[in-house]
Amino acid sequence: MKKILIVDDDITLRTALTRYLENRGYAVQGANCGVDGLVSFERDSPDLVVSDVLMPEMDGLEFCRRLRATRLGQLVPFIFLSSRREVEDRVEGHKMGADDYLVKPFEPRELVAKIEAQLERSRRIHSEIIRLMQRPTAPSIEPSVAPHPLPLTPAEEKVFWEVIQGFTNKQIGDRLFVSPRTVQTHLSNILGKLQLENRSQLIRYAFERGHRPPPEVLEGMQEPE
C-alpha cells in the first residue's frame, strides 16, 4: 500500500482528501504545516508528498526546499496544491523541487491522476537505478546507443557522480576535500549546462539517459550515511 503525506493547514480539505485517497487504497498521513510535515516525513517516510503552499510556521516552498536537502527527500514525488494560479507561482514551486502543481479548487480525480503518474514515474526510476547498480562493471554487450558525453569539466563531473549517489553538499565536500560552497558552485554550473532546475531532476536525468559512472567511481561507491 502506497503512503501519501498530505501537508495542509485546512483541516477540512485534508480530511476530505484523506478519506478520498484511503477509499482508493492509499495509506494517508497528515500534517498542518511544513514543520509538522518534516517531522512526519522523518518518522515514516511516504511514497509521495502533497503540500499546500500558504501555511503557518513554515510554508510549502520552504518545506519542499528543506525536504529536497535531505537524502531521503531528494527523489520522493512532490505535488503542490495552491490557490496561487499565476505562472510565476508555479515556476517558483518547480524551482523549489516540486514535480507537479495543482491549482485550487481542483477535481480530486485530477489529483489522483497526478499521484498515479508520479508514483509510476518513481517506480520506473528506482527500477532503473537498481538495474544499473546491479549490472556488471564490464558488460559483455554494450548498449547500441551510448549516452551523449556530459558537457562538464572534470571537477563538475566528480560532483555530478557524487550527487547521483545521493550525497549532500557537505558530504560531497568531505569526500572531495572541497568546501560545500564550492560543491554548490559546481552543482549550479551542472544544472545550468544540462538545463535542469534541481538535484532531483539531475538524478533522474542521469538514470533516464543511461549515464553510468566510470569504473573508478563505481569502485568507490557506497551507500550514503
pLDDT per position as a tens digit, 149-170: 889 998 999 899 888 777 778 8
pLDDT attached to residue 142: 47
pLDDT class for 198, splitting at 50, 70, 90?
confident
pLDDT attached to residue 128: 67
Alpha carbon 219 to chain centroid, angstroms = 26
pLDDT digits (tens, 9 = 90+) for 106-117: 999 999 999 999
pLDDT surpassing 60 at residue 81: yes
- Non-local (6+) Cβ contacts of 93 within 8 A are 53, 60, 61, 64, 80, 82, 101
**1 DSSP 8-state letter:** -
Alpha carbon 150 to chain centroid, angstroms = 21
If you average pLDDT over every residue of the chain, what do you get? 83
Helical H runs in the chain?
Answer: 11-22, 34-43, 60-68, 87-95, 108-134, 154-164, 169-176, 180-194, 199-208, 215-220
pLDDT digits (tens, 9 = 90+) for 127-147: 766 666 555 544 444 444 556
pLDDT surpassing 50 at residue 223: no
What is the CATH class of 144-220?
mainly alpha
* Lookup: cell for 215: 569504473
pLDDT attached to residue 144: 47
How many CB atoms sit inside 10 A of residue 225's CB?
7
- Domain boundaries defined on the chain: 3-130, 144-220
pLDDT surpassing 70 at residue 219: no
User: Comparing 3-130 with 144-220, is the CATH topology the same?
Assistant: no
Full-prediction pTM beyond 0.75? Answer: no
**Domain at 3-130, CATH from 3.10.110.10, 3.40.50.300, 3.40.50.2300, 3.40.50.720:** 3.40.50.2300
